[in-house]
Structure 1
Amino acid sequence: MITSIKNEKVKHWKKLHKRKERVKTQTFLIEGFHLVEAAFKSNWTIKELIIQEGVSLPEWARDIPTVVVKNSVFAVVSQTDTPQGIAAIVTMKQLNSSRQRPVLLIDAIQDPGNLGTIIRTADAAGFSEVILGEGTVDVFNDKVVRATQGSLFHIPVRHADLLAEIPLLKEAGFGIWVTALTDADNYTEVKPVTKTALIVGNEGNGVRSDIMDIADKRVTIPIYGQAESLNVSVAAGILMYYLRS
């Protein structure tokens, strides 16, 4: 049992709270029974389990290398308000995309909760891939991972240059939809097709103009009340399900 927060393993685990260390080691930290089991069932490599003293190890995890730690140590490693006493070090993995269904492109979304919710919705809506553009929060940020509720392990997600990706999508036969507040068509008036790439943008500024200029269609969601706009994760959800209708 590890009893000291000065232990070298503990120091390494804490470093994974930062993107730099995650990129360097190609690993990330997840917490909670649901997420850890989701990673295991989705065949992502779990390098190590971290179990708080007194917490029972799940039956399916018996063959995974496991380290037991004192409560005080787990509290330092954990990034949640009410930790469940189980965490895991997981190896990053790039899932393959068939691109037979719609693709979601994300331009500079910075709120981890929004990004995680959007990835979860893209998974639920049966999208084939999520591509994260410049300025978007790291997909392996702990708050993003938690907000995906395990969908991160099911749907391909990757960071890329959207200005380079959009021409490739067009060559592959995709129509490019971008969300906009002005000079845009009501989304319900545009017929969805199977091979559509949807672009949603930053919470405050929307999609960058240089990206918007190379889209095929600008779409908007009408506001019937007095709200200025919709939360980006809500707007993305509405449009993703419309594209699958």
Structure 2
Amino acid sequence: MRKLANSELNRINTDEFKDATKTPLILVLDDIRSLHNIGSVFRTSDAFLIEKIYLCGITATPPNKEIHKTALGATETVVWEYAADVVEVLEKLKSEGVSLQAVEQVVHSVMLNDFKVIPDQKYALVFGNEVKGVSQKAIDRCDGVIEIPQLGTKHSLNISVSAGIVVWDLFQKINARLSSAE
């Protein structure tokens, strides 16, 4: 085996990214403290052609040197918008028919491996603060809550890790549905 050079990866350029069909996923980051976590979510969003990111509350916005360290230019490709109030964003998305799913640990959550995607449904995934998680006011507006199964002693995963896991899982499920529909 030989490691591929970046020039051999055949990645699309920024203009091609903007024109590409997006995965019907929107990410809502509410009160994320770490600039590196924000950058990492941008990079994951670029990798899986995520439609949009909403940055809410205290979540910092590009351009920002610390976000750029992990985003590596993904803030130039992924569409994003800042909103001070996460509730307003969630109500807007709900009015557009987007299914709102918090990623959190709550009573009656659905384990990620059991979560079923609905054909032609657009989803918004809500991720919360590194310490407090998704706020109750945001959870109250969601259609459901997805929980990542965990077996160890820790109570949670880093938000950027959680976003990567959940985005990958839903990306796979959405694309499996699309492939089986063809």
- TM-score (norm. length: structure 1): 0.58
Distance 2:160 2:167 in 1: 10
The aligned amino acid for 2:127 is V
Unmatched runs of 5 consecutive residues or more in structure 2: 1-12, 173-182
Distance 2:151 2:142 in 1: 26
- Aligned to 2:46, the other structure's residue is in SS state helix
Bigger shift: 157-166 or 146-155?
157-166
Q: What is residue 200 of structure 1 aligned with on the other side?
A: 127
Distance 1:227 1:139 in 2: 31
CA deviations 1:226-245 (Å, max 9, x no partner) are 22211110011111111111
Match of 2:145 among 201, 204, 218: 218
Contact preservation (8 Å) 1:114, 1:233: yes
**Cα displacement (A) at 1:150:** 1.1
The aligned amino acid for 1:177 is Q
CA deviations 1:32-84 (Å, max 9, x no partner) are xxxxxxxxx748xxxxxxxxxxxxxxxxxxxxxxxxxxxxxxxxxxxxxxxxx
Structure with bigger gyration radius: 1
Give the count of matched residue pairs.
153
Q: What is residue 106 of structure 1 aligned with on the other side?
A: 29
Distance 1:123 1:187 in 2: 22
Match of 1:228 among 136, 145, 155: 155
The aligned amino acid for 1:171 is S
Higher helix share: 2
Distance 1:113 1:219 in 2: 23
Distance 2:65 2:23 in 1: 30
The aligned amino acid for 2:114 is E
The aligned amino acid for 1:139 is P
Is 2:119 aligned against 1:190? no
Q: What is residue 8 of structure 1 aligned with on the other side?
A: none
**Cα displacement (A) at 1:103:** 0.4
- Aligned to 1:128, the other structure's residue is in SS state strand
The aligned amino acid for 1:186 is M
Contact preservation (8 Å) 1:192, 1:242: no
1:7-26 paired onto structure 2 within 5 Å? none
The aligned amino acid for 1:225 is G
- TM-score (norm. length: structure 2): 0.77
Q: What RMSD in Å do the two structures reach over aligned CA positions?
A: 2.1
The aligned amino acid for 1:134 is G
The aligned amino acid for 1:191 is K
Contact preservation (8 Å) 2:26, 2:51: yes
Q: What is residue 101 of structure 2 aligned with on the other side?
A: 177
Unmatched runs of 5 consecutive residues or more in structure 1: 1-40, 44-94
**Cα displacement (A) at 1:99:** 7.5
- Aligned to 1:244, the other structure's residue is in SS state helix
Contact preservation (8 Å) 2:22, 2:49: no
Q: What is residue 131 of structure 1 aligned with on the other side?
A: 54
1:24-43 paired onto structure 2 within 5 Å? 42=14
Q: What is residue 6 of structure 2 aligned with on the other side?
A: none
Match of 1:240 among 148, 155, 167: 167
